[in-house]
Amino acid sequence: MKRSKACDSMLLSRHMDGELSPAEYDWLMSHLAACPDCQEELRQNEALRTLYKSDLAEERSQVSFQGLERKVLKQVSQKRLSWWMRHKELFFSKKLLIPATAMAAMVLLFFSLIRQPLLPPDPSAIITSLSGDMTSVIVLETPKTRQTIIWFNEAS
């Protein structure tokens, strides 16, 4: 049995889903009245849908939604983070870490720019007394570590 060129399976499917415009619906009804192939196809589709709906209802009736809800809630509560983990995530999150690092770098830069040069340490040696057979004596201090130097010229 050949199907007419006017037969349109897509139109039938859309009809099943209730998506046809009034004009399409009128055309399909008039076509169905004259086309046994399309009548058969429609019947098969409706039978399939009925079967599917009844199976789904049966499956749904066997599912315990309360039990499922309990399982889901249990899993959610297990995934809840501890106090420490929440704070750790907060402090080490990129949202906070990047601005904090930038701020720290700016503070460091600021203080390194305005920092006063370190005061030199005490002189390494304090000279309490000095004597000898010398023509001259010079007491020096190295600029970096303030190391005391006594330079003397022997008399002869």
Partner 1 sequence: MKAKRFPFITLSLAVAIIALSTIARAGPRIHIEAVTILASHDSSPRDRRLSGLINELESVFRYSSYRQISHDKMNLAIGDTGVVPLPGRRQLKITPIRVSGKRAELRVVIFKRGQQVFQTVIQLLNGGRMTVGGPKHKKGYLLFNISSSF
Residue 54 vs 124, nearer CB to partner 1 = 124
Residue 78 or 129 with smaller CB distance to partner 1: 129
| Residue 142 touches partner 1, criterion: CB under 8 A | yes
Token reading at 129: 């007394």
CA 18, 24, 29, 31 torsion-angle sign:
negative
In the complex, what is the shortest distance from the CB of residue 122 to partner 1, in angstroms, rounded to a whole number? 6
Q: Indicate the residue among 90 and 137 with the shorter CB distance to partner 1.
A: 137
Q: Min. distance of Cβ 135 from partner 1 in angstroms?
A: 10
Among 41-49, 84-92, 98-106, 134-142, the segment contacting partner 1 (CB under 8 A): 134-142
Region at 146 (left for phi over 0; alpha for psi -120 to 50; beta for the rest): left
Q: State the CB neighbour count (10 A cutoff) for residue 12.
A: 19
One-letter identity of residue 54: S
Please, what is the angle between helix 36-62 and helix 9-16, to 10°?
Answer: 40
- x-or-dash string of contact with partner 1, 76-115, rule CB under 8 A: ----------------------------------------
Q: Residue 93 and residue 88: Cα distance in Å, rounded?
A: 8
Site residues (CB under 8 A) for partner 1?
122, 124-134, 140, 142-145, 147-155
